[in-house]
Amino acid sequence: MKKKCFSLFRVIMLVFFTISIASCEKDVYPIVTVPNGYENYFYKALEFDRNGGSIHVVFEINVDWSIEVEDTWCRVTPTSGNAGAQRITINAGKNN
């Protein structure tokens, strides 16, 4: 059985919401791109097996960003960063 990190959608939406609020002050629109050769997780769900695991997400963004995760079984590190090339790790706990 696979467990999907549905909260990632909420995380991504929160990131874009935070970026949008910050960018409104500067009239800068956030642009997120995924470099060639890397999986684009921004348009699909992440899947973990029942033992959990980690997935690395690589992207580039033109503004500072932050992420908040409400679910305890799903952790993201780092939770914020500056504009530029980024790599975050999403850890899913074991599904008991």
Are 30 and 73 in contact by the 8 Å Cβ rule? The answer is no
**7 vs 67 pLDDT, higher one:** 67
Instruction: Record the pTM.
Output: 0.68
- Element containing residue 73 per DSSP (H, E): none
Q: What is the DSSP letter of 7?
A: H
For position 1, what pLDDT does the model report? 45
pLDDT in tens, 18-74: 555 554 455 667 788 888 988 888 777 888 888 999 999 999 999 999 988 888 899
